[in-house]
A and B are shown apart, each in its own frame.
Chain A
Amino acid sequence: MSNIAVKVTDLKKYYQMGEVTVKALRGDSFEIIDGEFIVVLGPSGSGKSTLLNMIGGMDQPTSGTVMFYEDEVTQYNEKELTQYRRNKIGFVFQFYNLMANLTARENVELATEICSDPLDIDEVMNDVGLDDRKSHFPSQMSGGEQQRVAIARAVAKNPKLLLCDEPTGALDYSTGKSILRLLVNINEKYNKTVMVITHNAAIGNIADTVIKMRSGEIEEIIKNENPMAPERIEW
């Protein structure tokens, strides 16, 4: 049991969107092994982002549990959830969500400021290939570079789990592949569990485990014995 990083049991999430009740998760269960590279696959509205938010402690489920190693995240109060997000989780978003008024380095620093055991910022920025772009503002960088900053921001916190929501969704083909390469490298070099959610089925080829979702339910969990290198996948 000790190598299970995340255990999700019968997770349900219903929420109100205007006048409509959305059943985003309908009782999903699965496990993630420590150090794995997981891809959650599914079309828009399948509940993957909601799942990611539940695991990341960004939102509370309607019912069900999320275990992170020995701890039940779904039992956490507001303060414990904040500490959990601060020290255990790193987020990467589709649209980077960088602070426009801060340089690349300052955006990373923003994350390391508050956590207990951060990595060296300059080393991480070097690893994501931004050594010479540290003092640039987001508006002075390309989409790929901005996503690298977002990844550096998540990794520099030294979290156990990296949650990436459509990290290549806003990028072109080659930049998207370079970002995937970066995520794989981080998974390997820093031994981080990485969970990527995407609607792009090709990306599933680089994962150790693929979780396929549709309409808030897990359709299939596929174990991939021989994950491909990001450079080799096509879409």
Chain B
Amino acid sequence: MNPLNKRVLRKLKESKLQYLAIMVVMMVGLSLYISFNMGIYNFENSVFTYYEKNNLADLSAEVVKIPMNSIDDLKKIQGIKTVEGRIKMDVPLKVEDPNEKVTARIISVPKDQTINKLFLIDGNLGLSDYKEAYVIEHFVQGRGIQVGDIVQPQINGKVYDLEITAEVGSPEFVYLMKDSQSMLPDLTSFGIIYVSEKFASEAFGLGNAYNEVVIDVAEGYNLEKIKTKVEDALDKYGVKSVRLREDQLSYRIVQEEIKGGKQSASVVPFLFLIVAGIILSVMISRLVKGDRMTIGVLKSMGYTNTQVLIHYSKFAVFIGLFGSLLGVALGTIVSKYFTQVYLMFYKVHYVTIEYYIGYLLGGIFLSVIFSIGAGVIGARGTLKIVPAESMRKEPPKSGKRIIFEGTKIWKKLNFTQKMVWRNLLRDKKRVIFVAFGVSITLLVVVVPLYLFATMPELFDYQFGKLQQMDYNIEFSRPTNTKSLNVIEDQVDYDLMEGKLEYPFEIESKWKSQIISLIGLEKNTQMYNFEDINERPLVPEKNFVYVSQGLAKVLGINVGDQIKINNYIPGKDDIYVKVTGINKQNLGTNVYMDIELMREGLVEKNSINGVFINSKDDVKGKLEKIRYISGIHSIEDMSSSFEEFMQITAASISSLLFFGFILGFAIMYNTTVMTINSRLLEFSSLRILGMSKGEIIGVILKENFVITVIGILIGLPLSKMASQGITDAFSTDLYTFGGSIQLSTYIFGISITLIFILISQLAAYHRIRKLNFIEALKERMT
């Protein structure tokens, strides 16, 4: 091996802990790059294979009623390949605990299903006309039921005993949520039960009619145009909504997940690589500075600038190459688990876990490019070294009085304090470098802590501040406001308000989205609306509020006219003026005066749900009311939130762990580098009679000041990074946000100080081992 290469290896060994720390950062960065990318790629591939093989519908339309023999009329629309009708209804499911409210969505399965084909997991496909059902896999797992068990849906007041003959998956329900208002999946209280067409039509009394059609469109056709034609064609059957695949809840959530995953893959690994690159570059520039004479000797022997530059860049390339190889190995292993984590939440079949050579080679290429960049930037100082000058002692830096000298405060400082301030103010580059390290460490700690703190805040705001009701009760069909009297008779309550809640398509300018439109009493006490600046909004007559996520997506401002597309037969589309944008972190809604909604969109005096504030046993007392399909209490929400938080806590802990690696690598390296570059200074102090302890005391005082500066810079940086991340991850379903709490900063600063302390201890150990006197005599490089 070439002697210079041997030197590289031996020098690396000399400062192994420093280089190892950078290598670990590089490794983590690359393993995140590989695992994020391959994990998300595998997930995306698997989910699209599933969609393709089981033919996820391109369009679905809910109608009041369409005769079975009219379904084929839709095929006349050019581009439509297949149409299937089905009956879909949400009904209560009878379970052992009478207080538990479980909703089952009954969906009929055609004999020769070609759209949204079910995936058999257990049991046998082939339903008898009665008494048999398939159950969706999420619900089977959530409730711990199995093939052979009986499920008891209550349809129109009658309980049916259906034997589960198969556990199935569906491309339509990769992620199972009742609706976009559910916020979180609740696999114990909501499930899908598939039944025969014959059973469904008889049990629901629909006769020879469906209430939903699913459509498969041939490739190459404009789906928007077909959607419009379908809306027109179904108008006479009382079309309620026509959704494109993109508007379908599960599909949308999967897409958001993939989008978020790709964003993470394009940001997080680069943060690590950039940090590793910066430290590496600074380390090499320090090495070059210390090796001034060696570089002079190499040049005196006839080594060219390029050869010397390459020699010093090799330190970085070596770290990059080894870090990347370890990162590739780790990333490849982790990516498999990464995909599996996705599969814990998303029920996808035909899963293929592949290792894409492109990402592996790309990852190595990426880190080598970063390393070469860091190496060349760090080693560029070699070019300036003139061999003859390198043989001479460096001229002393021109000494100047620092700005505070002569002031009263200055006079009061003791000798070491003056020394500390002189050192800090004379070597500003070092101060900036270490302070930068501290601020980045604070940033990587505060961001995950902020995310961690934001999650409960989202829910606290949604369920503690925005929504004021104890119970949200849904009806299976619209009723007259008089139905409130029935409920009033059953429960003791403090407050009760009827509501209307329907899916409608909202159009603003050229954009549209299907959302849940909620009609509320003006001056409602069930919602405590605030605008995005947390100023109260008072819902007056004809109020129309748009939730902030939706307003952002559709570009809606206060005062805009929005169009509400009305599918209800005999009712026209209406235009309403937006009177407020309301702060809302979860879900997308439009809220409006219930009277305005009744007048323009539905029937007079109608409601299809009720909000109740009550200490009474609401669930127990209302369960027998036939038209109630769901009772959701705040406790239900908080228990599902707790589950969600446990998963979130695990992923944020891993972020914090990565933050620790970054923080330690930054602080340890910056401290050791500054100590190494000041050996001669410390040696002189030792000769002047200062003890090791006193010197360490000076370093600690300097580091304390730098840490304070770093924290002061780090706080706004952390705030900016947190806001950047929340912006990047916010979707129309979830709007992260809110200001960083003081406790998050305090906690973040405390953790950063612990990291600094640990790295200082490691550095302290190094100082104790240093022979200061030898350093004065050192002439070898």
B303 and chain A: residue at smallest CB distance: A114
Stretch at the interface among A26-34, A51-59, A66-74, A201-209: A51-59
Q: Is the interface of B mostly helix, strand, loop or mixed?
A: helix
Q: Identify B301's interface contact among A59, A85, A101, CB under 8 A.
A: A85
Enumerate the 9 nearest inter-chain pairs by beta-carbon distance, A residue then B residue, closest first: A86-B302, A59-B388, A101-B10, A53-B388, A18-B395, A58-B388, A100-B780, A106-B3, A95-B779
B389 and chain A: residue at smallest CB distance: A59
Instruction: Give bound CA distance, A221 to B294, whole Å.
Output: 33
Instruction: Among A84, A96, A99, find the residue whose CB has the most chain B CB atoms closer than 10 A.
Output: A99
Other A-B contacts than A59-B386, A96-B780, 14 sampled, CB-CB below 8 A, are A18-B395, A53-B388, A58-B391, A59-B388, A85-B299, A93-B297, A93-B391, A101-B6, A102-B3, A102-B7, A113-B2, A114-B302, A114-B303, A139-B780
Contact B302 A87 (CB under 8 A): yes
Instruction: Among B294, B307, B388, find the residue whose CB has the most chain A CB atoms closer than 10 A.
Output: B388
> Which residues of chain A come closer than 8 Å to B10, judged between CB atoms?
101-102
> Which residues of chain B come closer than 8 Å to A87, judged between CB atoms?
302
> Which residues of chain B come closer than 8 Å to A82, judged between CB atoms?
299, 302-305
Q: Does A19 contact B (CB under 8 A)?
A: yes
Contact B7 A99 (CB under 8 A): yes
Within 8 A of B (CB), among A73-127: 78-79, 82-87, 89, 91, 93, 95-102, 106-107, 109-111, 113-115
Q: Does B387 contact A (CB under 8 A)?
A: yes
> Which residues of chain B come closer than 8 Å to A100, judged between CB atoms?
780-781
Within 8 A of B (CB), among A152-185: 153, 157, 165
Instruction: Among A49, A110, A115, A139, find the residue whose CB has the most chain B CB atoms closer than 10 A.
Output: A110
A83 and chain B: residue at smallest CB distance: B302
Contact B4 A110 (CB under 8 A): yes
Within 8 A of A (CB), among B378-407: 386-389, 391-392, 395-396, 398
Given A86-B301, A106-B6, A114-B307, do A98 and B391 touch, yes or no (CB 8 Å)? no
B298 and chain A: residue at smallest CB distance: A110
Instruction: Give bound CA distance, A79 to B305, whole Å.
Output: 9
Q: Interface size on B (CB < 8 Å)?
A: 33
Contact A85 B388 (CB under 8 A): no
Given A18-B395, A18-B398, A93-B391, do A56 and B300 touch, yes or no (CB 8 Å)? yes
Q: Supply 29 A–B pairs (Cβ within 8 Å), ascending by A.
A: A17-B392, A18-B396, A18-B398, A49-B391, A58-B300, A58-B388, A59-B386, A59-B389, A82-B304, A83-B302, A89-B302, A97-B293, A97-B296, A98-B780, A99-B3, A99-B294, A99-B780, A101-B6, A101-B7, A101-B14, A110-B3, A110-B4, A110-B298, A113-B2, A113-B4, A114-B301, A114-B307, A138-B780, A139-B780
Residues of A participating in the B interface, judged by any CB pair closer than 8 Å? 17-19, 49-50, 53, 56, 58-59, 78-79, 82-87, 89, 91, 93, 95-102, 106-107, 109-111, 113-115, 138-139, 153, 157, 165
Given A106-B3, A109-B3, do A17 and B395 touch, yes or no (CB 8 Å)? yes
A59 and chain B: residue at smallest CB distance: B388
Instruction: Give bound CA distance, A189 to B144, whole Å.
Output: 95
> Which residues of chain B come closer than 8 Å to A96, judged between CB atoms?
779-780
Contact B781 A85 (CB under 8 A): no
Q: Does B143 contact A (CB under 8 A)?
A: no
Residues of B participating in the A interface, judged by any CB pair closer than 8 Å? 2-4, 6-7, 10-11, 14, 293-294, 296-305, 307, 386-389, 391-392, 395-396, 398, 779-781
Instruction: Give bound CA distance, A79 to B306, whole Å.
Output: 11
Instruction: Give bound CA distance, A30 to B193, whole Å.
Output: 106
Instruction: Give bound CA distance, A111 to B388, whole Å.
Output: 18
Instruction: Give bound CA distance, A139 to B10, whole Å.
Output: 14
Instruction: Give bound CA distance, A165 to B303, whole Å.
Output: 20
Instruction: Give bound CA distance, A78 to B383, whole Å.
Output: 11
Instruction: Give bound CA distance, A109 to B305, whole Å.
Output: 19
> Which residues of chain B come closer than 8 Å to A165, judged between CB atoms?
391
Instruction: Give bound CA distance, A114 to B388, whole Å.
Output: 20
A84 and chain B: residue at smallest CB distance: B302
Instruction: Give bound CA distance, A86 to B302, whole Å.
Output: 4
Instruction: Give bound CA distance, A98 to B293, whole Å.
Output: 10
Shortest CB-to-CB span from A165 to chain B, Å, is: 8
Instruction: Give bound CA distance, A113 to B1, whole Å.
Output: 11
Contact B3 A113 (CB under 8 A): yes
Shortest CB-to-CB span from B385 to chain A, Å, is: 11
Q: Identify B781's interface contact among A50, A97, A110, A111, CB under 8 A.
A: A97
